[in-house]
Amino acid sequence: MPTTDISSPENGLDPKKSPQFSTLPILAWILVILLIVARIFIFQPVEVNGNSMLPTTHNGARWIVEEISAKITPRYQRGQVIVYCAQTNNCDKDNVFARFSLTYYIKRVVGLPGESIEIKNSKTIIYNDENPNGMILSEDYIGESVKKTLDSSNQFDQPLKKIPNDSYFIMGDNRIDSSDSRVFGPVSEKALLGKVWIQFWPLTEADAFQLPNYKNSPYIPETSQTKS
């Protein structure tokens, strides 16, 4: 079947003079919209205020918090550094307009849902199905000076606590200068904003977060005790 080129010179239309439409402005707007959506729902830049997470991170450090993976698989791993909403009982973090007025804090996940936890003689002891008699958590992320202070005093010890199935026991790495689950108890998963992903400031410290490689050991109690 013969075809006709309507923009050919024979039809009075010069292809060189035909109207041209650029897709660049449209693509630019699409990119802007995608960045806004990602900024609100997927990635959040946060600035650390305080030193409760020394030596892992410090006052003034800035991180990208990643939210999406926890929404797909809503469980956080032990050792993960997270950002959580301080208003745990009224944390409407999924409200686009309300979330920017909320206060967030940064801590580390130590106890998982359904576990029991205690701190004794400066050792963090976890009880779960795999370790019914307890395991001592090897926390290499705690600074040496803090470890010495913890070892010299039992004022930071905690009695045995049961973690609800929808909550996490979180603590700051700087155990001697951190208000955390030892004070206000386990934090609901609904209050967790997301996982720290990349530190981007200061530039000299820019790096991706790595989960700790735990080398735990069995807990051998000095006397018999009952788990809650």
Residue 209 CB neighbour total at 10 angstroms: 17
Residue 71 annotated to the active site: no
Verify whether residue 123 is a known catalytic residue: no
In this structure, are residues 156 and 168 in contact, taking their beta carbons and an 8 Å threshold?
no
Residue whose tokens read 């470890």: 147
Residue 197 tokens, joined: 């992903």
Question: What are the residue ranges of helices labelled H in the chain?
Answer: 24-41, 68-72, 144-151, 181-184
Catalytic pick from 69, 93, 107, 195?
A: 107
Question: Cα separation of 141 and 215, whole Å?
Answer: 12
* Cα–Cα nearest to 193, from 73, 83, 112: 83
d(CA 187, CA 184): 8
Catalytic residue among 7, 17, 22, 52: 52
Write out the catalytic residue numbers: 52, 107
